[in-house]
Amino acid sequence: MATLTRPNIVLINCDDLGYGDPGCYGSTVNRTPVLDRMAAEGIRFTDFYMASPVCSPSRGAMMTGCYPPRIGFDSFDGAAVLFPGQGVGLHAGEQTIAGLLKEQGYATMIVGKWHCGDQPEFLPTRHGFDHYYGLPYSNDMGRQVGREKYPPLPLLRDEAIMQEQPDQAALTERYTEECVRFIRANKDRPFFLYLAHMYVHRPIYAPERFMKQSKNGRYGAGVECVDWSAGVILHELARWGLDANTLMLFTSDNGSRARDEGGSNAPLRGTKATTWEGGQRVPCIMRWPAAIPAGRVCRELVTAMDFLPTFVRLAGGKPPSDRIIDGKDIAALMLGADGAASPHDAFFYYWKHNLDAVRSGKWKLHLRKRDDALRELYDLDSDVGETTNVYADHPDVVEALLAKIDACRADLGDAATGVEGANRRPIGRVDNPRPLTHYDPAHPYIEALYDLKDGG
């Protein structure tokens, strides 16, 4: 094998893509030949989790390696995600994957959706990224039919607004070109590229080519456009001889809405914004020809919070030692080391301030859903769809999981039981926040009002 350190890292994160949406995870309606190739040439994880079932806390957790309550991202002045012009976001004192890799000499860039705060103090360029090109929040937070309350959707380069209300059908091609530019500009040094797609968050505007070929409507067009983009990046890496020593990852920020628009979390129960498996267990594919053996499937529990310590160590650095980091180094699992197992004794599911559930090994215990308390236990090895409650049959398992819940409450808090949590850090705050844009009837928008009513 070639060197196992200092790989280039390309992290592709989709928006609302479900567990069952890629072909290699079982889809028969979305064509994803590039993602399927990545899985065949690398490793596919079956038990990979985001730390939240919605976008802002999920992304903040991935960037910092911490559970959302750890960094004050469990709620945003009462909201589940960040909205335009809010005065809260990622605290200036938090350390991110990008910042830590930059310290190791990596060039860093994010292309696409940030959603960790839109005020200047919270933008990616203040959190370790050399450059930024994309939307600071969700693509339904611009002016569209039925949502005229929002300011025009801003497309940023670094911290400057380049366009308002861009043509969303053209954005993925523009994003992909930015990725190509970045790779070419940094092909002679290690780099970290974070591509955060807007697909398949609604509204879904896709290029005509993908709309025509899709067997799954707008949703399938979005999925297949994402697959095309991954193919462009792989082609570019190969063109410059970077393919072998580039770790390329593909995942999603949370599960699909999976109602009637074409998404699938099959065979999982639940959707985006729930702490059932379908809300937080998502696809994860990793490909690194120099180091990851081809064609592997990993069934160990891993999380997006693990990216930070893993990437930093691969780059030759060390994770922060002055704060609690919840992620673990999963390099042994990625590289197929003999006997490698999940480094997590337990994984905790939060909805905003409430601790909803815990998984340890094959067991998952649910405590509540929104305002409703419940007691449900599932064996995820034999019942991944969470269909058969075996709470009454395993009191010893329940007792052990409740002890882990108590420890988590003491650490991170739980509003449902009134526990504050001893190891929470503050969210970032600014005075006098303002939206980045304001509607101007005289402005030459290319899309003054998006015509789809879909959102969320």
- Cite the active site residues: 55, 115
**CA–CA dist 380, 431 (Å, integer):** 46
Nearest CA to 282 out of 29, 132, 59 is that of 59
Pair 171, 450: CB distance under 8 Å:
no
Q: What is the DSSP string of 227-256?
A: HHHHHHHHHHHHHTT-STTEEEEEEESS--
**CA–CA dist 345, 185 (Å, integer):** 42
Phi and psi dihedrals of 195, rounded to 5? -100, 110
Phi and psi dihedrals of 224, rounded to 5? -70, -30
Q: What is the DSSP string of 73-138?
A: -S-BTTBSS--TT-SEES-TT---HHHHHHHTT-EEEEEE---S--SGGGSGGGTT-SEEEE-SS-
Pair 115, 136: CB distance under 8 Å:
yes
**CA–CA dist 141, 135 (Å, integer):** 10
Phi and psi dihedrals of 328, rounded to 5? -125, 155
Instruction: Calculate ∠ Cα 103-105-108, nearest 5°.
Output: 85
b/e 63-96 (16+ beta carbons within 10 angstroms → b): bbbbbbbbbbbbbbeeebbbbbbbbbbbbeebbb
For 387-394, the CB contacts below 8 A with 24+ separation are: 387/269, 391/365, 394/363
Alpha helices in 240-316 (DSSP H): 277-280, 307-314
Pair 384, 267: CB distance under 8 Å:
yes
